[in-house]
Amino acid sequence: MARKSTAAKIRAHITKHPSERAAEVAKKFNVGVPYVYTVKSQMKKAQKNEELSERVYQAGKGRDRAAWQTVAVMSSSKPLPITMEEPAADPVNHPAHYKVGGIETIDFIEAKKLGYHLGNVVKYITRADHKGNHKQDLEKARWYLDRAIERA
CA-based R_g, the chain, Å: 17
- Rounded Cα distance, 32 and 51, in Å: 29
- Residue 94 phi, psi (nearest 5): -140, 65
CA–CA distances in Å: residue 28 to residues 10, 19, 34, 92, 128:
9, 15, 14, 18, 31
pLDDT 10s per residue in the chain (152 long)?
Answer: 567 788 889 989 998 998 899 899 999 999 888 888 888 888 888 777 777 666 666 655 555 555 555 554 454 455 545 444 544 566 676 666 666 666 778 888 888 899 999 999 998 898 887 777 889 989 999 999 999 999 98
> Helix, strand, or coil here: 84?
coil
Q: Tens digit of pLDDT for each residue in 50-68? A: 776 666 666 555 555 555 5
Task: Tell me how far the alpha carbon of residue 64 is from its chain's centroid.
Answer: 27
Q: What is the pLDDT of residue 2?
A: 64
Q: What is the pLDDT of residue 84?
A: 46
Is there a contact between 81 and 108 (Cβ–Cβ < 8 Å)? no
Q: What is the pLDDT of residue 94?
A: 66
Q: Tens digit of pLDDT for each residue in 72-85? A: 445 445 554 544 45
